[in-house]
């Protein structure tokens, strides 16, 4: 897994994005792959504000510049199903932001790795465009 992520364009989806991080709060603490430094945190704040956890449904993604967003409108809506969110150590890792009681990284990137919390395969035109962009991507930002 680490070899593939180090040498070829790599796309992580949902739990695949979370696995790339250094550490997760899930199961009383779990080590991740550490490919993107940061933590995976539970949506405690959302639950405290009366929002349903897991966060399930459509939500906007505010994009930061990256080739995988080509031909996708900023603030397009994607389909999410998750109880945890990633908290990267550095701002430059963040490729997209969404809001569910707090702003969270819904897309992250590092070198040839791009990962999303949402499900592009369930996200209609925008999701299919992201998958097409990945297939066309050479792994360079």
Looking at the annotation, which residues are catalytic?
14, 119, 121
Which tokens sit at 63?
A: 């994009």
- Which helix (H) or strand (E) covers residue 88, if one does? strand 84-88
Asked if 43 contacts 53 with a C-beta cutoff of 8 angstroms, the reply is yes
Beta strands in the chain (DSSP E): 10-13, 23-24, 30-31, 38-42, 55-63, 76-82, 84-88, 94-99, 103-110, 113-116
């Amino acid at each position: 897994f680490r070899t593939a992520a180090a040498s070829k364009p790599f796309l992580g989806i949902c739990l695949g994005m979370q696995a790339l991080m250094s550490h997760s709060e899930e199961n009383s603490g779990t080590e991740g792959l550490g490919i993107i430094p940061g933590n995976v945190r539970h949506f405690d704040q959302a639950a405290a504000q009366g929002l349903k956890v897991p966060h399930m449904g459509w939500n906007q993604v505010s994009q930061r510049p990256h080739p995988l967003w080509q031909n996708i409108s900023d603030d397009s809506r994607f389909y999410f199903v998750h109880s945890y969110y990633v908290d990267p150590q550095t701002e430059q890792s963040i490729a997209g932001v969404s809001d569910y009681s707090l702003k969270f990284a819904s897309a992250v990137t590092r070198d040839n790795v791009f990962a999303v919390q949402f499900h592009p395969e369930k996200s209609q035109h925008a999701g299919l465009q992201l998958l097409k962009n990945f297939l066309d991507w050479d792994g360079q930002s």
